[in-house]
Amino acid sequence: MYELKTLLPQFDIKLPTCMYDLKNVSLSADPATSTSSGGCKGQLRLFQSASEFSSSINSRNSVTCVLDLDILGRQIQHLLKQDDTASIAMRQEKVLQQLEALKAQLGKIRADLGVCGKTVQHTTAYQNGGLKEVPLKDIVINGHPNFIPYALLALKNAWRDLYTVNVKTFTHSTMADIGPAAREFEAKLAKIPVNNALPNINVTLIWKNCEHTEMISSPTMYVPIYGEVNVIRYLGRVGPVEYRYEGSPLCNEIDLVLDICYQLLRCSTHKAQVAMVRLLDKRLQQQQYFGGSQMSVADIGVYSSLIRIPAITDKDLTPALLAWRKRAKLVTQI
């Protein structure tokens, strides 16, 4: 026969660790069940007619048997002998705890929606540009390890004494390995202490094989908000008062800077990236920050965008941007 060459090289496949391991319950390794020459152990055959069955039984050289009950009995005994009671009990206890947490979460959602005549006490104060404040729900952010949302880390450091952004990370089954950069990002998030005395918002970051960073803010409907810049806008509206910019005279300016960051992250060539950096330099001018004399969400967006694009080096930044980056680094601590 012809010899075929190997078409695919040998890959080191990393299996995901978020799946259950199933134990081998077959008796294929049992020598008593292995088929020897002339025996019928472990074989099962289906007959098309009664005459075929009769001829197979009467044949002296036949090695076919209808069903070996001994093998079936040994297989059942093998399953019963496996001592998995402790592991099953632990798994069941964990599932019950998760169900209790889910029940509490659903009860909270029903209370927020006013189901069954139940009402919830909302804050009567009107802030944030005239919007009525209501209790915040937990948000979920899906992100790819190649596009790390550094804005979460920057906001968590910048709001350390004002607002608590409690971030928990999980890995989706579509990701076999998140890589060293994402693991370092998780470690830095974990080092920042959580102050429960401050107003807070819970963020669940899921590493997932997705094209864009997306945020789901409502547990009752799947309406994602795409793009890290738009996630910054959302957090800026629900975060501390010092970073809410709707009532600021520089509201349009901050939104314009964030729009430039959005375009910068989607530039396909280095030339286009440098052109966006020049636009940022024009918006900064002689100011200390993009929002004037104080740090704003615009600075968070620019700082995170520049980190995500390693092709932009110090040579591509103007002296004003280099000086701004040093000041911003003191606040974001990235």
Does pLDDT of 57 surpass 60?
Answer: no
Mean pLDDT over residues 202-210, rounded?
Answer: 93
Of the two residues 121 and 68, the one the predictor is more confident about is 68
Retrieve residue 181's tokens.
Answer: 């950069």
Does pLDDT of 80 surpass 70?
Answer: no
For residue range 286-310, what is the model confidence (pLDDT) as tens digits? 889 998 888 999 999 999 999 999 9
Report H helices in 136-269. Answer: 150-158, 179-191, 228-238, 251-264
Cβ neighbors of 161 (< 8 A, separation 6 or more) are: 198
Mean pLDDT over residues 224-240, rounded?
Answer: 91
Mean pLDDT over residues 24-36, rounded?
Answer: 52
3-state class of 46 per DSSP? Answer: coil
Of 225, 236, 217, the C-alpha closest to 290 is 236
- Tell me the pLDDT band of 205, cut-offs 50, 70 and 90: very high
Does pLDDT of 77 surpass 80?
Answer: no
Of 124, 25, 119, 144, the C-alpha closest to 77 is 25
For residue range 157-175, what is the model confidence (pLDDT) as tens digits? 999 999 989 999 999 999 9
Is residue 231 within 8 A of residue 213, CB to CB? The reply is: yes
For residue range 173-186, what is the model confidence (pLDDT) as tens digits? 999 899 999 999 99
Which helix (H) or strand (E) element contains residue 326?
helix 319-332
Mean pLDDT of the chain: 80
- Tell me the pLDDT band of 58, cut-offs 50, 70 and 90: low
Of the two residues 7 and 90, the one the predictor is more confident about is 90
3-state class of 64 per DSSP? Answer: coil
Percent of the chain with pLDDT over 90: 40
One-letter amino acid of 40: C
pTM exceeding the 0.85 threshold for the entire prediction? no
Does pLDDT of 40 surpass 60?
Answer: no
Strand ranges in the chain using DSSP code E only, listed in sequence order:
126-127, 131-132, 139-143, 164-171, 200-207, 214-216, 224-226
Length of the chain equals 334
Please state, in angstroms and as integers, the Cα–Cα distance from residue 238 to each residue in 139, 152, 252, following that order. Answer: 12, 14, 18
The C-alpha atoms of residue 199 and residue 195 are separated, in whole angstroms, by: 9
Does pLDDT of 36 surpass 90?
Answer: no
3-state class of 150 per DSSP? Answer: helix
- Tell me the pLDDT band of 33, cut-offs 50, 70 and 90: very low
pLDDT at 83: 60
